[in-house]
Amino acid sequence: MKQNFPSYEETLQTLKSTITPWERVEKVAITDALDRHIAFDVIAADNYPARATSAMDGYAFAWSEGLSELTPLADLPAGSDKGIVVRRGECVKTFTGSLMSEGTDTLVPVENVEIAGGKIIIKTPVKKGFAVREIGESYKKGEILIKRGTRLNYGEIALLAELGLFHISVFVRPKVAILATGSEIKDLGEPLLNAAQIHSSNHIGIAAMVRKMGAEPMLCEIVRDEADAVKTAMLNALKTADILVTTGGVSMGDYDFVKGALGENFTLIITGVAIKPGRHIKVAKAGERYVFALPGFPYTAMVTCALYVRVLLEAWLGQEQHRLTAIMDEDYKKRSPFLEFTAVNLTSREGKNFVNLNGKRLGSSAIVNNLLNDAALLVIPQEKDFLAKGEVVEVLKMV
């Protein structure tokens, strides 16, 4: 019997309608905050710099047309404020990062002058305002500098230090348990006993994905295709995890026991979607905990993780899914009647994004090497069957 699946956008709306805000926050030192998601807007409390400062070593003076000789008054090292008032024709020797003295508006670099008879002779004139950092050059009072939900990189951490912040509030990392199921798969280090067995890559790849998404992965033991074992493993994982991601056991086979365990113990919210790959995905809830039951093929599992698990984590951590547009570098013929997500190479030329399929193999949804080189997902609408070279298309980043 043919099953009518809802669209991807419909299932996203269904998922989003069940999400409540993630309000778990903890304080960490900025030295431990790399890749954490900040839980508040960082707003400038003042202009920076609060006073005009020197951007070079030189002589600060009041600029006027044709001025070629200056009388030095004093030196002003960085970190000092002597309250010097400078009049026309006078200057203060000023160093990088020093305050500009009252009455000055320009700095002439030391390499542009020579000293003769106690005077500073300007050999190479500069324009008014040269080498002066104006008040608020970096940011103005009240400006939002870092938005809530931003993943902190080295630049954000340096800015937090500049602001004098040390302990900051970040979102607690959601715990994501990853459970691979299947009698044919073995964990890393286990011997393959016959040609029908393979090493599991799903749980390792998805663990790396959710870590990059800002969550804390928890690897579960691989479970064989036995109904009671699958159900017990799922329930145990959710005792400590906020999200459970399973792979395998959700299709139409006799040994697809994840599907049965979901129906018995959880509230199903998504039971399939009109996409390729991954149309048999299931999503369920147990209280505020989520279960994402992904298909077993490695490529499909990781693509559907990006399409669904990422949406929940982004909502919890204050993120937004960033969809890109790009230009096709080659023709592409669609391979199914569904909305397709195909691994592509995303490149940039002259400020524009381009996609191609160089090195990507056609075949089943098991080809995990199609995700190499930071692959992105080309989105091919359900109503289209062909994309032409030069056509503008939609692209999703995997993580």
Residues 188 and 263 occupy one common structural domain: yes
198 and 310 share one domain: yes
- What does the pLDDT look like over 340-367, one tens digit per residue? 999 999 999 999 999 999 999 988 778 8
Question: In terms of domains, do 310 and 223 share one?
Answer: yes
pLDDT at 251: 61
Number of structural domains (the chain) is 4
| Angle 220-223-225 from CA coordinates, rounded to 5° | 155
3 state SS of 45: coil
Are both 19 and 108 inside the same structural domain? no
DSSP letter for 255, please. T
Work out the average pLDDT over 218-246: 93
Q: Is residue 149 domain-shared with residue 159, that is, in the same domain?
A: yes
Structure confidence by residue, pLDDT tens digits, 149-181: 999 999 999 999 999 999 999 999 999 999 999
Q: Which domain holds residue 151?
A: 26-44+141-171
Q: Are residues 164 and 35 in the same domain?
A: yes
Average pLDDT over residues 209-216: 97
CA 327 to CA 272: how far, in whole Å? 30
The pLDDT, as a whole number, for residue 253 is 52
* Domain assignment present for 2: no
209 found inside a domain: yes
CATH number of the domain encompassing residue 147 = 3.90.105.10
In a domain, 1, yes or no: no
Whether the per-residue pLDDT at 197 is higher than 90: the answer is no
At which of 264, 282, 317 does a domain end?
Answer: 317
Q: Which CATH number is 58's domain given?
A: 2.170.190.11
282 vs 251: CA distance, rounded Å: 10
Look at residue 368 and tell me if it is in a domain: yes
In a domain, 71, yes or no: yes
CATH number at residue 331: 2.40.340.10
pTM listed for this prediction: 0.87
Upstream peptide bond of 109 is cis (omega within 30 degrees of 0) = no
pLDDT, average across residues 302-319: 96
Nearest of 74, 50, 48 to residue 60 by alpha carbon = 74
Cβ-contact 278, 295 below 8 angstroms:
yes
Average pLDDT score over the chain: 93
90 & 217 share domain: no
Q: Is residue 257 part of a domain?
A: yes
**Given this model, what pLDDT does residue 184 score?**
86
Read off the pLDDT of each residue in 77-102 and give the average, rounded to a whole number.
Answer: 95
Q: 79 and 127 in one domain?
A: yes
Q: Are 73 and 84 in contact (CB under 8 A)?
A: yes
For residues 274 and 217, membership in a common domain is answered with yes
For residues 179 and 276, membership in a common domain is answered with yes
Q: Mark whether 164 and 36 lie in a shared domain.
A: yes
Q: How confident is the model at residue 249 (pLDDT cuts 50, 70, 90)?
A: confident
| Cβ-contact 164, 170 below 8 angstroms | no
pLDDT one-digit tens code per residue, 2-51:
568 999 999 999 999 999 999 999 999 999 999 999 999 999 999 999 99
